[in-house]
Amino acid sequence: MKVLQAPKKHLPVVGLLGLVVIAAAGGTVYYYQFASPHTHAVPSHRLVFMTAVIQELGGFHVNNTAYLNQTTQPAFDNSKGYNLTGVKFQDYLPSYSDNKTINANAGDTITFYIHAVDGSGHGFSQYGSNHGFTIDGPTVSVAAGDALPGTIPFGKWYSVTVTFVTAGSYIYRCNIFCSDQHPFMQGNIVVS
Ligand SMILES: [Cu+2]
């Protein structure tokens, strides 16, 4: 008879543990479904679409931003640029509206698509036939096969995929002398 009583003493404990486990799991589900402000779990893969023209005509300009909702990247060609046909993505608004500042979270990957614009014929001196793209900052990890710094001939496209490992302030800039105001041809990347 005492042997039968022993398991009964454990039953309430087992029951409590079960409730705790269920509550924890439920809480986690609740957090991700309702409390998490974004549908995109960190880290995300962002796509940033930009143009590059001499600083006298505006320098770098972010035209659009999107989350890539798949693991494979859009098709890309130096002449035609990116191809989003059949690609799952979701546009988002950057936190800054100067069209030069890019925001991200530590661990995020950003693929830059940059179209170099020929600025000749606008009354400003333009030197050479290329813009450049490089990033200064705490820690950047460049995808295998991609070039950073990169050279972007006028009229062509350039793409580079970079993972921002560490939070901090980054600067992207042109690294090829292209006009008198070349040193100012840059923008910020704020990684939180
Ligand atoms: Cu330049």
pLDDT digits (tens, 9 = 90+) for 20-51: 444 544 444 444 444 444 455 568 999 999 99
Q: Which residue has the tokens 């690609």?
A: 87
| Number of domains present in the structure of the chain | 2
pLDDT score for 172: 98
Give 140 Cα–ligand 1 centroid separation in angstroms: 21
> pTM score, two decimals?
0.79
Please indicate, yes or no, whether residues 106 and 182 belong to a single structural domain of this protein.
Answer: yes
Please indicate, yes or no, whether residues 19 and 87 belong to a single structural domain of this protein.
Answer: no
Angle formed at CA 155 by CA 153 and CA 156, multiple of 5 degrees: 60
Given a contact cutoff of 8 angstroms between Cβ atoms, the answer to whether 130 and 116 are in contact is yes
pLDDT score for 152: 98
Rounded CA separation 74/155 (Å): 20
Give 54 Cα–ligand 1 centroid separation in angstroms: 7
Q: Is residue 6 part of a domain?
A: no
Give 178 Cα–ligand 1 centroid separation in angstroms: 4
Q: Is residue 167 part of a domain?
A: yes
pLDDT score for 6: 47
Rounded CA separation 172/158 (Å): 14
Please indicate, yes or no, whether residues 112 and 88 belong to a single structural domain of this protein.
Answer: yes
Please indicate, yes or no, whether residues 55 and 73 belong to a single structural domain of this protein.
Answer: yes
Please indicate, yes or no, whether residues 111 and 19 belong to a single structural domain of this protein.
Answer: no
Q: Is residue 151 part of a domain?
A: yes
Q: Is residue 114 part of a domain?
A: yes
Given a contact cutoff of 8 angstroms between Cβ atoms, the answer to whether 119 and 42 are in contact is no
Rounded CA separation 73/82 (Å): 9
Give 176 Cα–ligand 1 centroid separation in angstroms: 5
Q: Which residue has the tokens 């000749």?
A: 120
Angle formed at CA 17 by CA 15 and CA 21, multiple of 5 degrees: 120
Give 187 Cα–ligand 1 centroid separation in angstroms: 12
Low-confidence ranges of the chain (pLDDT < 70): 1-42
Domain that holds residue 32: 11-39
